[in-house]
Chains A and B, each alone.
Chain A
Amino acid sequence: MCAKWYLGTGAQNDVVINTSIHLARNLKTCPFPARLNLPEKLKVNSIIKGAADSIQDYSFNYAEMKTLSQAEVVSLAERHLVSPEFASSRDGRALLLTEDESVSIMLNEEDHIRLQVMYAGFALDEAYRTASIIEKELSSKLDFAFDDRLGYLTQDPTALGTGMKASVVLHLPALVSTSQITKLITTVSKLGLSLRGSYGEGAAAKGDLFRLSNTITLGISERAAIENLKSIALQIAAQERSAREELFKAPVTEDRIYRAYGVLKYARLIDTSEFMDLISLVRLGAVKGIINMDCAQIEALMIHMQPATISLSVDRPLDRTERDKLRAKLVRQTL
């Protein structure tokens, strides 16, 4: 059993939870996924799998989505290894995944290839380096659709160009509780980036987790897009830190953190939404040194407590109450 990427701790991890790089690529000679029938999709899968298998330094597990249960596929989405869109329809789609789950390749999602590299903490350069190594390996075996004027061609013309989406997931409890987040979302959108809830949208983002991504793919190089994202992410992190400092001046903050910890430690039933609210406070306390818990442990818990993932930890379907009961038990054991 190999350690998953999220069990590591990364730079800036008081605010930055993880980093990911996505690259979209298509085979030159094949129509895009929406115009392929099932046998053609399976053929595309096997061509790409063949190229991925020849990469020396990375070994991938391959799974046709059709062979997985609905809960298994949703759990992959909860762990952000596949997109919700990918999970919504399983026919003709497949996944290549490394053992540590840091590299995943969705086959026949919006594009033939959606490569994702995900690392803990703030690691844009490292993630981009890995993504481009794998992309280069693939491109030495496969002919990608590319145009000198438009860059890499994608099924959705709004994604063409570099085909790169870089993201960092940020934990912003202080900016949420001081109501600065809405303004920040607007500001960021003017800078060619998007900031949205990582689980759930807008100010209702669960666990105060937000994903900051670039939206520019044409007229800008990968490097410039990453540098731009990096500098905005660091500015938001600094803003969050100073908002936290303000927050901790009021004794009620520490009280709320201990209460959250108390509920998580003793509750007998807990649903996802309450869990995410409370664990967010606990994480805030852990970073501050009030609660003796490791951030990596908290991140792993956030992932493992999502509804489909929790159902997978037992070998039978659970109803809502059973699931909330199991969640409370697993949380108690961890705390």
Chain B
Amino acid sequence: MICQNCNKNDATLHMKRIINGRAAEVHLCSDCARSLGYGEAFSGFGLGFGHLLGELLSSNENGSANSMRCPACGKSFEEIAEDGKMGCAECYAVFYDRLLPTLNKIHGKTSYMGTKPQTSGNSAAPSISLDELKNALSEAIERQDFELAASLRDQINELVREGGAL
């Protein structure tokens, strides 16, 4: 098998891993593995995800000496890359563009599909909304999980019949 990164050398490192829900097979030659920061991080379970994240972040940051800091908490991108921890909520906004490639690598998908915080005043919304169910249904179909899709379709029909949320 040929290395997926350089398409040149023989791949010596074969990894099956889940990148936030999506199974991905990675085949790399030893040179590419090292330069991409996949060192020992994948050989065992000893290292935490935070460490892996640090490696991914710093591999995106080759040579850029731009050390901007988050105005809210003072953390720099280099420091985040080092310990894999965001300093505060504002860090996400400040470093969003630089984080995005890494977030993509980790999560596979970067569109949020979960519940949203209620805006003050309007509570009493049903705990599972029709929209949520519809989203889940299209996800299930996309993943070809038809058993789940059937169960979601039943729940949607039920909700519609009850006239609960439209």
- What residues make up the interface of A, taking CB atoms closer than 8 Å to B? 26, 28-32, 34-35, 129, 132-133, 136, 139-140, 144-158, 161-162, 164, 186, 189-192, 201, 215-224, 227-228, 231
Contacts and interface: CB of A to CB of B under 8 A. Distances in A.
Contacts of B112: 147-151, 161, 218-219
A32 B152 contact: no
B91 to A, nearest CB: 8
B18 A192 contact: yes
Interface string B91-111: 011000001001100111111
B118 A32 contact: no
Contacts of B145: 228, 231
A203 to B, nearest CB: 13
B106 A35 contact: no
B23 interface: yes
Given A220-B113, A222-B115, A150 B85 contact: no
Contact of A150 (B72, B110, B151): B110
B114 A190 contact: no
13 contacts: A31-B72, A136-B118, A156-B53, A161-B107, A186-B16, A189-B23, A190-B16, A216-B21, A219-B113, A223-B132, A224-B135, A224-B139, A227-B140
A54 to B, nearest CB: 14
Interface centre among A35, A132, A139 (most CB of B within 10 A): A35
A30 B84 CA distance: 18
B123 A31 contact: no
A157 B87 CA distance: 11
Given A136-B123, A139-B118, A218 B109 contact: yes
A90 B85 CA distance: 20
Contacts of A220: 21, 109, 113-114, 136, 139
Contact of A222 (B84, B103, B114): B114
Interface in B119-150: 120, 123, 127-128, 132-133, 135-136, 139-140, 145, 147-148
Contacts of A190: 16, 18, 23
B116 interface: yes
